[in-house]
């Protein structure tokens, strides 16, 4: 009987494998055929010609030097000349930015790969660049640097062979974090490693932040990233929000200084060929979400119960003063702030009245990702459209309302054909589209992409720079906060026998890491609670909805007896303001870790450097105090376990 069952299972698995193989072959053949058809629409490469003794790239291949091809002409004139030559389809494609795949071998992704399951649900490069005529993309890949450079140059060659030779702008979320796990930050091994933004808040040093951003600029430029999807200027007054660690913390004044410093470091004194354009987000401040519910998902409301709307604007005001090139509005509905209660990306009072008119911002306004298409893939996960207040509108009507609000680009979407149809039918005037194109193309020119978009292998030499790596490690050290040090247990003597708990299974220490039985001290690393009590309809919602901040009874039943068994030093990795009350009662020492390396943590514990960071957020003492506080109001947790600004040093 068992043999029969095994035989049936083997037959079933074999059949399933065969079906999947046939499906893959069919999908591959179809993708190859589609790519071949698209490639026939491409023109030749742009020849290098000479005019008045100066060489130039003949991007439209017409044998003469057009104004937009002439680097000596004012940028505004170059932009106007380009726009006059663009078709409606080219204009529409230029106003979307979406995720694009990157093959591990440095080639353009045209068909799905068995080594990359997500490639089966991503559009091919040809479909996006030729079929939809798009020229802005964001990437999550972190393949070997040489392959990333090869891919980038191949993508620019694709842009060069378009009718007008419009270059490609490549964007990315943050890449300079220590964690290797999937998340908002993309682990990139050859970039220097720094603490989280919350860690920079714990340091509160604008000069260091500016130096960090300069290094980010150099390392991004080395592989062709010219647009940074950040910084987050949100002020994290709502502790349940799952993206607290992407902010500089709870103090809007500190956030303003650090946000401005980051933008100056990233863009330079002015935007030019050496710059990386910053896209500050999420205007007018996403750190005050009702009940801490992430607004990727309904209901997406911020009602400012404490009347602190203006408090959350302060970091953005600093960003505008620093000359930030682009702004991303938040997903939420600013309830009670505007007459029409619709999401910010659709909200004319937020985009035009506040951002354009009050703040005189004339850079690019780009919506957050996925506000039009339902069940859109964002970062390889699916989410519903964050179209709060306009759910009844169809795709073209949503696009119309977005542009009517004053937005220039639409993020995480590639629905260029509906925009074409909306222009052709008169729903959206071409003149209105040209307004946004002027802003979008101006930045491509300022970044030097029209004149020289390609990279050389020598550009990679800046990567893995020992000085940059050392500065990143130093910043990690400065970010660590010593919350408690009972009886001055820290620093430990180097001869102390330690037992590591909660560290990666394969992590080995240079110190005496022994069994629990033989240890003098336990060093325990714990993570911030996440996902508890969340009623999620998808994996992405489970990941993004932070839920409760206290540990479950099951977790405490594991932690407390262990931490009581030996003197214990607890290292709390703070993604959000975790409730550490029960743990604090049994720990001899408590350390706040803002995504630093294990080596840095142990160096602190053994006294190789002294702690200097201070808390950039309050740490609440109970879940009830979290429920009682106001989402938009800073420092209002009653009887906080540790107050904002708390931090000890070694005596």
d(CA 365, CA 386): 17
Given a contact cutoff of 8 angstroms between Cβ atoms, the answer to whether 429 and 404 are in contact is no
What does each C-alpha distance from 483 to 245, 618, 635, 647 come to in angstroms?
18, 12, 17, 6
Q: Which of 58, 66, 368, 550 is catalytic?
A: 368
Six-digit token string for 85? 């030559």
Six-digit token string for 318? 């600093």
d(CA 347, CA 325): 21
Residue 523: φ, ψ to 5°: -110, 110
Beta bridge partners of 98: 137
Given a contact cutoff of 8 angstroms between Cβ atoms, the answer to whether 408 and 436 are in contact is yes
Q: Cα torsion at 151, 156, 157, 160 (round to 10°)?
A: 170
Is 368 catalytic? The answer is yes
d(CA 370, CA 384): 8
Angle at 216 between CA 325 and CA 482, to 5 degrees: 115
DSSP state at residue 520: S
d(CA 600, CA 476): 7
d(CA 234, CA 220): 23
d(CA 359, CA 368): 20
Q: Cα torsion at 276, 252, 570, 646 (round to 10°)?
A: 130
3-state helix, strand, coil in the chain (%, to 5): 40, 15, 45
C-alpha of 361 from chain center:
22
Residue 118 burial by Cβ neighbours in a 10 Å radius (0-12, 13-18, 19+): middle
Six-digit token string for 587? 């720990």
Reduce the secondary structure of 574-632 to three states and give it as a string.
CCCCCCCHHHHHHCCEEEEECCCCHHHHHHHHCCCCCCCCCCCCCECCCHHHHHHCCCC
DSSP state at residue 371: S
d(CA 326, CA 277): 7
- Catalogue the active-site residues: 368
């Amino acid at each position: 009987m068992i043999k029969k069952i095994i035989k049936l299972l083997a037959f079933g698995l074999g059949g399933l494998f065969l079906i999947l193989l046939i499906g893959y072959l069919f999908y591959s053949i179809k993708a190859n055929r589609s790519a071949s058809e698209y490639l026939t629409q491409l023109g030749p490469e742009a020849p290098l010609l000479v005019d008045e003794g100066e060489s130039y790239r003949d991007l439209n291949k017409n044998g003469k030097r057009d104004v937009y091809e002439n680097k000596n002409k004012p940028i505004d004139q170059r932009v106007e000349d380009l726009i006059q030559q663009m078709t409606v389809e080219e204009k529409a494609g230029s106003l979307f930015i979406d995720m694009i795949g990157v093959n591990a071998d440095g080639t353009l992704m045209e068909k799905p790969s068995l080594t990359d399951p997500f490639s089966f649900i991503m559009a091919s490069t040809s479909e996006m660049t030729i079929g939809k005529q798009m020229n802005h993309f964001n990437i999550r890949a972190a393949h070997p640097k040489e392959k990333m450079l090869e891919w980038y140059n191949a993508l620019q060659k694709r842009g060069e062979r378009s009718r007008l030779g419009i270059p490609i702008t490549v964007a990315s979320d943050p890449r300079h974090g220590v964690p290797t796990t999937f998340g908002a930050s993309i682990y990139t091994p050859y970039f220097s490693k720094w603490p989280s933004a919350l860690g920079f808040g714990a340091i509160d040093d604008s000069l260091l932040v500016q130096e960090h951003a300069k290094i980010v600029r150099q390392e991004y430029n080395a592989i062709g990233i010219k647009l940074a999807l950040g910084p987050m200027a949100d002020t994290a007054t709502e502790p349940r929000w799952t993206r607290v660690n992407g902010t500089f913390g709870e103090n809007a004044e500190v956030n303003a200084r650090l946000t401005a410093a980051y933008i100056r470091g990233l863009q330079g004194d002015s935007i030019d060929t050496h710059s990386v354009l910053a896209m500050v987000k999420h205007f007018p401040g996403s750190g005050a979400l009702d009940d801490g519910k992430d607004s990727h998902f309904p209901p997406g409301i911020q009602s400012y119960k404490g009347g602190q709307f203006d408090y959350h604007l302060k970091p953005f005001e600093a960003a505008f003063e620093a000359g930030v090139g682009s702004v991303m509005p938040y997903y939420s509905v600013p309830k009670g702030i505007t007459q029409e209660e619709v999401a910010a990306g659709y909200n004319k009072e937020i985009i035009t009245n506040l951002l354009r008119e009050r703040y005189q911002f004339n850079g690019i306004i780009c919506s957050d990702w996925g506000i039009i298409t339902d069940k859109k893939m964002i970062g390889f996960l699916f989410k519903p459209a964050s179209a709060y207040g306009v759910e009844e509108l169809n795709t073209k009507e949503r696009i119309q309302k977005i542009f009517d609000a004053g937005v220039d680009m639409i993020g995480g979407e590639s629905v260029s054909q509906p925009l074409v149809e909306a222009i052709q039918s008169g729903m959206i005037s071409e003149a209105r589209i040209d307004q946004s194109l002027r802003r979008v193309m101006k930045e491509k020119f300022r970044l030097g992409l029209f004149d020289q978009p390609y990279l050389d292998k020598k550009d990679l030499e800046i990567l893995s720079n020992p000085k940059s790596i050392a500065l990143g490690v130093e910043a990690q050290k400065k970010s660590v906060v010593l919350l408690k040090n009972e009886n001055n247990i820290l620093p430990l003597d180097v001869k102390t026998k330690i037992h590591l708990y909660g560290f990666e299974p394969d992590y080995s220490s240079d110190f005496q890491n022994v069994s629990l039985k033989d240890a003098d001290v336990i060093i325990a690393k714990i993570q911030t609670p996440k996902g508890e009590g969340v009623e999620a309809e998808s994996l992405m919602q489970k990941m993004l909805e932070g839920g409760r901040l206290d540990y479950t009874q099951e977790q405490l039943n594991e932690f407390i007896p262990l931490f009581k068994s030996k003197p214990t030093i607890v290292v709390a990795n703070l993604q959000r303001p975790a409730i550490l009350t029960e743990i604090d009662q049994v720990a001899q020492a408590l350390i706040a870790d803002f995504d630093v390396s294990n080596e840095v943590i142990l160096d602190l514990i053994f006294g190789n450097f002294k702690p200097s960071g201070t808390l950039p957020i309050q740490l609440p003492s109970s879940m009830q105090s979290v429920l009682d506080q106001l989402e938009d109001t800073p420092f209002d947790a009653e009887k906080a376990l540790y107050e904002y600004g708390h931090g000890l040093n070694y005596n």
